[in-house]
């Protein structure tokens, strides 16, 4: 296969991210990561009909001894629950999956987070291979080993760190992705520029039309650069003891919005876009950065067709209350990822709630 890019994730459990057109058909490469005979493919109602058979056929052509089953969850954030987790582990038990079984997550970040959590828990941890099919999953959720399910009380409240064995991002799958989901992925791409690479933001600015038109080279470049940023951070800080928290830029706001809307309003990428603008405005309010930087970020996100304001009808006190259950909050109060200007994010403890409410 020509033109495949690779990003290696270092650390105690290293793995490789492959990015290229047609990777789901490369059964030999996928099968390399299956140690036993059980393959449990988790996908969703939109992705499974498009791609699941392709993956199973490719795997079985390469390894006729494999036993593959496909479990299909409903599409969307509302499927990322403890209840669905329970169903999937019961299916694994019925399948007779042994400890050398492999969970294959075929889909967006919802499938990736849920299937990854199943892999983290079944027999205290089995292999997981991530096959991301959304831009967001390719640039972010398939990498780094955060797995989780949501609760009504908050996003990703129950989960585990469980790095994948490998990630195969087949960029051909992006051709069937709805526009809204493509734009959601661009929000997390912008995040890398916002937190640590002002030059990347300039590149995104210059290539915004190519990206929205799904130009293959522009998308592959954006994915590879995003993965390289994430790989560098998670290799140094896999368990978010320090700098990994920078990847949460905009997320304290985003998660509060998503949970307050019952996971049926803005999708994750859209909420992150709003959250990043709120974080930039809060930085300006606290005197850390200029309002001009926030305005520049807002205009790039707007160009990508993303929302930049908190949806009408959400109350500031309710959102702030939700932030108290954010995973970065400590007994001492709210901790935010803010910036000192484009490309310079920092962890800021003890942010006062009045300033947050004012920005909301």
Ligand X SMILES: NC(=O)c1ccc[n+]([C@@H]2O[C@H](COP(=O)([O-])OP(=O)(O)OC[C@H]3O[C@@H](n4cnc5c(N)ncnc54)[C@H](O)[C@@H]3O)[C@@H](O)[C@H]2O)c1
Ligand Y SMILES: O=C(O)C(=O)C[C@@H](O)[C@H](O)[C@H](O)COP(=O)(O)O
* Catalytic site positions: 124, 146, 188, 230, 240, 244, 248, 251, 255, 268
Tell me the closest approach of the beta carbon of residue 143 to ligand Y, in angstroms: 7
Query: Taking a C-beta distance cutoff of 8 angstroms, is the pair 128, 146 a contact?
Result: no
Q: Per CB under 6 A, which region of 50-58, 139-147, 161-169, 274-282 contacts ligand Y?
A: 139-147
- DSSP H helical segments within the chain, as ranges? 27-31, 47, 53-62, 82-95, 109-121, 135-136, 179-196, 198-206, 208-212, 216-236, 251-260, 268-285, 291-303, 316-323, 353-359
> Does residue 247 bind ligand Y (CB under 6 A)?
yes
CB neighbours of 178 closer than 8 A, spacing ≥ 6?
none
Tell me the closest approach of the beta carbon of residue 285 to ligand X, in angstroms: 26
For the beta sheet containing 67-73, the strands, ordered from the edge strand earlier in sequence to the opposite edge, are 5-9, 15-20, 166-170, 127-132, 102-107, 38-44, 67-73
Binding-site residue numbers for Zn(2+) are 188, 251, 268
Query: Taking a C-beta distance cutoff of 8 angstroms, is the pair 281, 298 a contact?
Result: no
Footprint of ligand Y on 309-328 (CB under 6 A): 327
Residues near ligand X (CB under 6 A) are: 44, 46-47, 50, 75-77, 80, 107-111, 113, 133-134, 136-137, 140-141, 144, 146, 156, 173, 176-177, 181, 184, 267-269
Choose among ligand Y, ligand X, none what residue 248 binds, the Cβ cut-off being 5 to 8 Å by kind.
ligand Y
> Does residue 186 bind ligand Y (CB under 6 A)?
no
Buried b / exposed e across 236-253, counting CB within 10 Å, b at 16+?
ebbebeebbbbbbbbbbb
Tell me the closest approach of the beta carbon of residue 162 to ligand X, in angstroms: 10
Q: Per CB under 6 A, which region of 2-10, 28-36, 140-148, 343-351 contacts ligand Y?
A: 140-148
Query: Taking a C-beta distance cutoff of 8 angstroms, is the pair 104, 42 a contact?
Result: yes
> Does residue 258 bind ligand Y (CB under 6 A)?
no
> Does residue 144 bind ligand Y (CB under 6 A)?
yes
> Does residue 140 bind ligand Y (CB under 6 A)?
yes
Choose among ligand X, ligand Y, none what residue 283 binds, the Cβ cut-off being 5 to 8 Å by kind.
none
Of the pair 171, 226, the CB lying nearest ligand Y is at: 226
> Does residue 147 bind ligand Y (CB under 6 A)?
no
Query: Taking a C-beta distance cutoff of 8 angstroms, is the pair 117, 147 a contact?
Result: yes
H helix or E strand, kind and range, residue 75: none
Query: What is the spatial distance between Cα 248 and Cα 62, in angstroms, rounded to a whole number?
Result: 39
H helix or E strand, kind and range, residue 329: none
Choose among ligand X, ligand Y, none what residue 108 binds, the Cβ cut-off being 5 to 8 Å by kind.
ligand X
Q: 161 in helix, strand or coil?
A: strand
CA 346 to centroid of chain Cα atoms: 20
Q: 67 in helix, strand or coil?
A: strand
Choose among ligand X, ligand Y, none what residue 136 binds, the Cβ cut-off being 5 to 8 Å by kind.
ligand X
Of the pair 162, 281, the CB lying nearest ligand X is at: 162
Tell me the closest approach of the beta carbon of residue 90 to ligand X, in angstroms: 22
Binding-site residue numbers for NAD(+) are 109-113, 133-134, 146, 155, 173-176
Of the pair 66, 245, the CB lying nearest ligand Y is at: 245
User: How many CA atoms lie less than 13 Å away from 219 in the CB half-sphere?
Assistant: 26
Q: Per CB under 6 A, which region of 85-93, 177-185, 193-201, 239-247 contacts ligand Y?
A: 239-247
* Residues lying near ligand Y in the complex (CB under 6 A): 140, 144, 146, 155-156, 188, 240, 244, 247-248, 251, 327
């Amino acid at each position: 296969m020509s033109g495949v890019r690779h990003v290696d994730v270092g650390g105690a459990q290293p793995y490789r991210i492959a990015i290229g057109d047609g990777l789901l058909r490369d059964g030999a490469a996928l099968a390399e990561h299956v140690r036993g005979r059980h393959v449990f493919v988790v996908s969703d109602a939109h992705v499974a009909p498009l791609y699941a058979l392709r993956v199973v056929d490719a795997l079985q052509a390469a390894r006729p001894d494999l036993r593959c089953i496909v479990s299909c969850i409903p599409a969307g954030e509302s499927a990322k629950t403890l209840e669905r987790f329970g169903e999937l582990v019961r299916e694994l038990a019925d399948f007779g999956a042994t400890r050398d079984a492999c969970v294959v997550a075929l889909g967006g970040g919802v499938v990736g987070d849920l299937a990854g959590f199943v892999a983290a828990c079944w027999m205290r941890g089995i292999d997981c291979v991530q096959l991301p099919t959304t831009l967001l999953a390719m640039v972010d959720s398939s990498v780094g080993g955060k797995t989780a399910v949501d609760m009504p009380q908050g996003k990703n409240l129950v989960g585990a760190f469980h790095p994948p064995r490998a990630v195969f991002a087949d960029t051909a799958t992006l051709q069937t992705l709805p526009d809204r989901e493509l734009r959601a992925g661009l929000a997390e791409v912008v995040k890398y520029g916002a937190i640590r690479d002002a030059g990347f933001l300039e590149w995104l600015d210059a290539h915004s039309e190519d990206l929205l038109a799904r130009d293959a080279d522009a998308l592959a470049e954006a994915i590879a650069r995003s993965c390289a940023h994430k790989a560098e951070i998670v290799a140094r800080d896999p368990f978010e003891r320090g700098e990994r928290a920078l990847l949460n830029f905009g997320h304290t706001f985003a998660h509060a919005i998503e949970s307050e809307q019952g996971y049926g309003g803005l999708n994750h990428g859209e909420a992150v876009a709003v959250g990043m603008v709120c974080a930039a405005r809060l930085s300006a309010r606290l005197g850390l950065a200029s309002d001009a930087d926030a305005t520049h970020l807002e205009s790039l996100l707007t160009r990508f067709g993303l929302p930049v304001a908190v949806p009408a009808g959400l109350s500031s006190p309710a959102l702030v209350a939700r932030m108290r259950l954010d995973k970065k909050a400590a007994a001492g109060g709210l901790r935010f990822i803010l910036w000192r200007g484009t490309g310079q994010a920092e962890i800021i403890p003890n942010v006062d709630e009045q300033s947050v409410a004012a920005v909301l």
